């Protein structure tokens, strides 16, 4: 178990800059990050055959982006 703990700590130390960069990007540009997540969900739902769910996610994402653009600035 100690080997796994050391490997985990080494992984987090080596990738700390990358994780910090992702955190800063999410904090600065949250609407874009959420749009990318919605796109991934839409594609995943569509490929799984859940077209209604894909349309709901896509429609909600577009609505949220339009509201953010219109009122969020």
pLDDT tens readout for residues 45-56 = 888 888 888 888
Residue 33: count of CB within 10 angstroms of its CB: 14
Maximum Cα–Cα distance for the chain, whole Å?
53
Q: State residue 36 phi and psi, 5-degree precision.
A: -65, -45
Q: Are 41 and 48 in contact, with CB atoms under 8 Å apart?
A: no
Q: pLDDT, tens digit, for every residue of 25-40?
A: 777 777 777 788 888 8
pTM confidence score? 0.53
- Residue 41, token pair as written in the block: 């969900």
């Amino acid at each position: 178990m100690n080997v796994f703990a050391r490997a985990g700590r080494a992984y987090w130390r080596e990738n700390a800059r990358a994780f910090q960069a992702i955190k800063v990007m999410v904090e600065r540009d949250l609407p874009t990050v959420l749009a990318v997540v919605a796109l991934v969900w839409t594609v995943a739902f569509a490929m799984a055959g859940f077209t209604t769910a894909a349309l709901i996610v896509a429609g909600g994402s577009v609505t949220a982006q339009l509201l953010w653009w219109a009122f969020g600035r």
